[in-house]
């Protein structure tokens, strides 16, 4: 049961493995939404995510015999690191089953805490089935990443910290994968102050909890498709579903494209690396139809590999019209390339890449294709550059930007 006594016990326990993540006031997001927005940076935890809270508290409640059997879990990465680190603190062995799609940084960090990693399946649910199989085969003690009241209690300690630091908080936004964090945070928040609104946020391509809310029972999605790998769950937790149904006020879903833009906002305005699942609560701010409220967005984790980070930054720049590509046709004669470059330079466009295709037409004197990828300050500046090209006699066509 998620009781106040258990939450208080968990709050003391997790102090052994967590850093103090003070709320960060976001002037940028506050201005964007006309609210007072605070960030709860759980991406700054030693393991890179909040998951160590639930893992450590759960393991602390086990008997020495249960720990000595060895621990096992399934995770897309953050719970894996939480269990691996907590197991190490208790001197217990740990086996972690992770989907084959898990970012390399999460796999390597999990191994660095001394855990054995087994890669299996494309999504969490397949990895979880394998973990149960191994637990039965070897007698391991299974630590569920979300569908366990003790784990949810550990995660809920975040709510205690938020309310202590910001007693008059109006809204808490919490990411949802399987629902452990949402169950813990919403339940404790309502115990501390029933007036606090707790809103869950899911990726649109993995909205298992929203579908379950709609049906009034736990629903399994046929498939999930989202860049938010930490919340790519087909089936939410059945044990914690009643707590969420009772205490969560609403669920918002956001598209992957919104997460890409949110990543760019966090890097540029807060100098923070937040993984896609952790950005759900940032992207959701624009979906809240409220003003002049104190809102806390929980940034659940920051474990993102460099390759993914690079791709997200590039896509974010394209979505914000900071990078774009146009195609123009021009005669194949000396000076034409210089003339185009001069046109762009006069309106402060910065050329990133050029592709000069002389074989777009059999009549090279009539048409040679030039694809120009450029940097701009934003949408307005992009239109200025395009207008300058048109004014000088070119007919620029926007094409898919590829860096």
Would you give the DSSP letter of residue 301?
B
State pLDDT tens for residues 225-253. Answer: 999 988 988 999 999 999 999 999 999 99
Q: Is the pLDDT of residue 369 over 90?
A: no
Out of 51, 106, 130, 234, pick the active-site residue.
51
200-204: average pLDDT: 97
Q: What is the pTM of this model?
A: 0.89
Residue 355 is predicted with a pLDDT of 87
Q: If phi over 0 gives left and psi between -120 and 50 gives alpha, with beta otherwise, what is residue 216?
A: left
- CA dist 285 and 37 (Å) reads 9
Q: Is the pLDDT of residue 364 over 60?
A: no
Residue with the larger pLDDT of the pair 401 and 327? 327
Q: Is the pLDDT of residue 403 over 70?
A: no
Q: Is the pLDDT of residue 282 over 80?
A: yes
Residue with the larger pLDDT of the pair 392 and 243? 243
Which residue intervals of the chain bear CATH 3.40.50.1100?
4-50+149-311, 52-142
Pick the CATH number of 52-142 from 3.40.50.1100, 3.30.505.50, 1.10.3720.10, 3.60.15.10: 3.40.50.1100
pLDDT band per the 50, 70, 90 thresholds, residue 363: low
Where do the DSSP E strands lie in 47-127?
A: 71-74, 94-98, 116-119
Would you give the DSSP letter of residue 173?
E
3-state DSSP call for residue 267?
A: helix
- CATH superfamily, domain at 321-399: ACT domain (3.30.70.260)
30 is catalytic: no
CB 185 within 8 A of CB 83: no
State pLDDT tens for residues 124-182. Answer: 788 989 999 999 999 999 999 999 999 999 999 999 999 999 999 999 999 999 999 99
Residue with the larger pLDDT of the pair 403 and 343? 343
Distances in Å between the alpha carbon of 27 and those of 35, 36, 199? Answer: 10, 8, 21
* Range with lowest mean pLDDT among 199-203, 228-232, 233-237, 305-309: 305-309
Pick the CATH number of 4-50+149-311 from 3.40.50.1100, 3.40.50.10190, 3.50.50.60, 3.40.50.300: 3.40.50.1100
Residue 114 is predicted with a pLDDT of 93
51 is catalytic: yes
Out of 186, 277, 297, 300, pick the active-site residue.
300
């Amino acid at each position: 049961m998620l009781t106040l006594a258990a939450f208080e016990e968990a709050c003391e326990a997790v102090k052994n493995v967590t850093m103090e993540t003070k709320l960060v006031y976001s002037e940028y997001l506050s201005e964007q939404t006309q609210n007072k927005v605070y960030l709860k940076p759980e991406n700054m935890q030693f393991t890179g995510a909040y998951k160590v809270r639930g893992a450590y508290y759960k393991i602390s409640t086990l008997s020495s015999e249960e720990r000595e059997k060895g621990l096992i879990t399934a995770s897309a990465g953050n719970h894996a690191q939480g269990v691996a680190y907590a197991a190490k603190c208790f001197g217990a062995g740990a086996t972690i089953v992770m989907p084959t799609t898990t970012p390399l940084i999460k796999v390597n960090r999990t191994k660095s805490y001394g855990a054995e990693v087994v890669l299996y399946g494309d999504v969490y649910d397949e990895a979880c089935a394998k973990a149960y199989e191994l637990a039965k085969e070897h007698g391991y003690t299974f630590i569920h990443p979300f569908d366990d009241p003790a784990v949810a209690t550990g995660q809920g300690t975040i709510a205690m910290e938020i309310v202590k630091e910001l007693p008059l908080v109006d809204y808490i936004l919490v990411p949802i994968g399987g629902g452990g964090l949402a169950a813990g945070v919403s339940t404790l928040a309502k115990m501390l102050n029933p007036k606090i609104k707790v809103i869950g946020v899911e990726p649109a391509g993995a909205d298992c909890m929203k579908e379950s809310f709609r049906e009034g029972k736990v629903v399994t999605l046929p498939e999930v498709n989202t860049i938010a790998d930490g919340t790519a769950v087909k089936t939410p937790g059945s044990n914690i579903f009643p707590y969420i149904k009772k205490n969560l006020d609403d669920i918002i879903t956001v598209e992957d494209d919104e997460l890409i833009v949110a990543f760019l906002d966090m890097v540029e305005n807060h100098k923070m690396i937040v993984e896609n699942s952790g950005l759900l609560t940032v992207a959701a701010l624009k979906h809240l139809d409220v003003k002049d409220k104190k809102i806390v967005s929980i940034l659940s984790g920051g474990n993102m590999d460099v390759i993914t980070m690079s791709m997200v930054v590039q896509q974010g720049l394209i979505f914000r019209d900071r990078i774009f590509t146009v195609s123009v046709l021009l005669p194949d004669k000396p000076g034409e390339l210089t003339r185009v470059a001069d046109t762009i330079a006069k309106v402060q466009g910065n050329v990133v890449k050029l592709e000069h295709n002389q074989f777009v037409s059999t009549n090279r004197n009539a048409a040679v294709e030039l694809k120009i990828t450029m940097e701009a300050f934003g949408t307005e500046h992009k239109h200025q550059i395009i207008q300058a090209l048109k004014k000088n006699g070119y007919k620029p066509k926007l094409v898919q930007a590829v860096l």
